[in-house]
Structure 1
């Protein structure tokens, strides 16, 4: 196994839902399993959850479970099985009527699932269908129809997504389907909940209220895939527990040439606030069918590691692709290679310690612990945490020194599966007395040979409350 700090998220599906396939993914480097609630039944998702727990038990590891809510995805309604061909410059109609799409000599009419589309979308607006492969513009509108003119050719099929990059869609971010799926996820103790099509921090606050109403505090991952979200990045990242650069829908909602810069901004802001960030969509898309990726895909994944993403996500590659475990292993190798080279070539990496700019003592404590670790050339930095705050804040500095984490909470341990560099987590209960706790930690490290005799370690405990920092030589 290649040791890496960047985490790998794998979407599960027909290619990866059995225990044997899950074991292969774990061996290849999977840290998080994503359940895509745009597809599948609750019965099937429950089977996946049980299989994940069986597989992680067999491998003696933790695999975080990410529930990805569908959100208000606007799609094409019922269509003929073969779809309908649209040619460039052809005029066609989309309607909110519940019909099956058809093409005659006089008219082509396509149903959509969103009932307020005619109200929200104005004349002259761009309409993208099937991930932008078919581009069109609104040339006229009626009460229940939009008249479009195609700018490119393509086939429209049932379930194709539709995007409106220069329109503001009023659909609620949390749908009725999401509410049912959320209840299922909370009842089955998923570790993270991803919210699709976030527009502002209010969407995060609304979801958090629903989670808390159920007596839970499951972390929220905000998916950035709308132009409105890009305009409110700072407030969203402050409000959420983690963030996903969802480049698929985002790439049809803003100009695709803007995606690389937006990706860098999201990762930078998430790192700054100590929030885990996932880079997603079409990372190794060619591996859905091919056993090896393209050179461009390798560079894309490597650049995400250079940018300090916490995790990289595979979608179709592991859900329906021919080579799920092989794709996961490619990401693992890329992360390992880039991280190793960054250590060899220090000019590629800088530690930015600037406590003078911090006001919270908890943040200053974590920064000081990292600074001390680097200066002392410690073999490891040890964190003790109840809520996960301390290791997350330590990890954001990317100091590369191994992070060993202790916590009294299995829930916290599972949530740390998404955080960069948190590879060794032990669930242990230690005495409340600070000195006894430190001595117990040191004794455990020595007994388990986690650090060699004579090496230095830095220990920081509960930075979010009564922080203590200590240095030991074993």
Structure 2
């Protein structure tokens, strides 16, 4: 959903834009005229002005408006290349009257709600109000889908905190963002978005051109592997592939490569965290406990999270580290407690148990959390622990004598998860 502007269908599916030639944007849904394009935004011809920049295909092709009539806009190609049907159109710095969601977008959102979608993304977010409108629509349709705000416009960067606060998750959509803003500022913008999501405890996805060369090559560049690793180390919950798997020559190979890079990065990251933890434990219990999860305490609670739960989650991380526990188990029907644990980036792996299928699927996005189906009942803590231990032993995650730490609620009237229980396998 959201105001993403795309080209219409092109003759033969692709057109070469030659530097210096004149191309036209015309009204309508499709055209067979040579050198003429249609777009999905009907008012584009009315709202472009002479001198406005027009970028195609993730900014690889650039045009500038030279003339306009009532029926068409004439543009000169500044930087050429091949453009394909349905590729994106970016207008950096151009103010459009396009609505946050079109009538078609509303229909798509209603379909997603009826289909039981777990996540719905909103493109080209400009304000928190747009995010709230989509969330309201989904809730009124009985949907539990999480709304992902795609950060890809200058206005989104200007209003970043409010957008992150309103969204359930955030995507750094670097393709359009790198066109709508100065590409040289992209690295620091990415870090700022991730850092803001950490403060508000919101899952964050980094996307676009992460392993772009593998659309055709069988191995990534060294810069691409470093890009993936740095996104993870900065705090990304997920790294996303797009063109590499949508139209690339080696979709399975590129997914395997992404997994390998992520696994190697996180293995070293967690090794370093455990090494630091060991040094702190060597200095005495107070040092280890005061170090906690080695990250500053979150400024804001996860949406719907009780302060008691946040305190118990933080305490559980400290206890698990001090006792060399192998797993922190979080019982949660909604998944918000699992988010709070995930955002601590703890050295001890987390298992999120739930009896809600949608929650289990959504938890797959949260960094360091392994979803596990189980009945979550405050009266049957023993049964839950037995189930987790059986799973852990079978999966090779646990051995006899290992310790695990359970975060759950006692059901004695507390407003949130109020229990951290240590169990020996």
Q: Identify the TM-score tier after normalising by the shorter chain.
A: 0.7 to 0.9
Do the aligned partners of 2:328 and 2:404 also contact (CA within 8 Å) in 1?
Answer: yes
2:101 alignment partner in structure 1: 174
Give the drift of 1:177.
Answer: 2.5
* Correspondence 1:408 to 2:355: yes
Displacement after TM superposition at 1:83 (Å):
5.5
Report the counterpart of residue 472 of structure 1 in structure 2: 423
Q: Distance in 1 between matches of 2:64 and 2:154?
A: 18
CA distance in 2, matches of 1:348, 1:456: 20
TM-superposed CA distance for 1:371, in Å, is 2.3
Other-structure match for 1:441: 384
Number of equivalent positions: 397
CA change 1:348–1:126 in 2 (3 A) is: farther
> Which of the numbers 337, 352, 356 marks the counterpart of 2:294?
352
Alignment of 1:35-434 (within 5 A): 69=1, 71-77=2-8, 79-81=10-12, 85-96=16-27, 100=31, 102-103=33-34, 109-346=36-273, 351-355=293-297, 360-430=307-377, 432-433=378-379
TM-score if structure 2 supplies the norm length? Answer: 0.84
Name stretches of at least 5 consecutive residues in structure 1 with no aligned partner: 1-68
Give yes or no for contact 1:389–1:464 (8 Å, CA) kept in 2.
Answer: no
Contact 1:355 1:364 in 2 (8 A): no
Contact in 2 for aligned 1:125/1:138 (Cα 8 Å): yes
Q: What is the CA deviation profile of residues 236-258 of structure 1, one whole-angstrom value per residue up to 9, with x for unaligned ones?
A: 11111111111112221112122
CA distance in 1, matches of 2:300, 2:169: 21
* 1:106-125 deviation per Cα after TM superposition (whole angstroms, max 9, x unaligned): xx554333222244334332
Q: Tell me the equivalent position of 1:13.
A: none
Q: Which moved more, 1:185-194 or 1:111-120?
A: 111-120
Unpaired runs of 5+ in structure 2? 278-290, 302-306
Cα drift, residue 219 of structure 1: 1.1
Give the secondary structure class of the aligned counterpart of 1:342: helix
Q: Once the 2 structures are TM-superposed, how far is the Cα of residue 385 of structure 1 from its aligned partner?
A: 0.9
Equivalent in the alignment of 2:404: 457
Contact residue 363 and residue 371 of structure 2 kept, 8 A: no
Q: Which has the higher contact order (CA 8 A, sep 6+)?
A: 1
Cα 1:299–1:376 change in 2 (3 A) is same
Distance 1:341 1:367, change over 3 A: same
User: What CA distance in whole angstroms lies between the structure 2 residues aligned with 1:352 and 1:358?
Assistant: 17
Contact preservation (8 Å) 2:332, 2:376: no
Equivalent pair of 1:318/1:327 in contact (CA under 8 Å): yes
> SS of the residue aligned with 1:345?
helix
Structure 1 position 337, deviation (Å): 0.6
**CA drift at 1:79:** 4.1
- Pairwise CA RMSD: 2.8
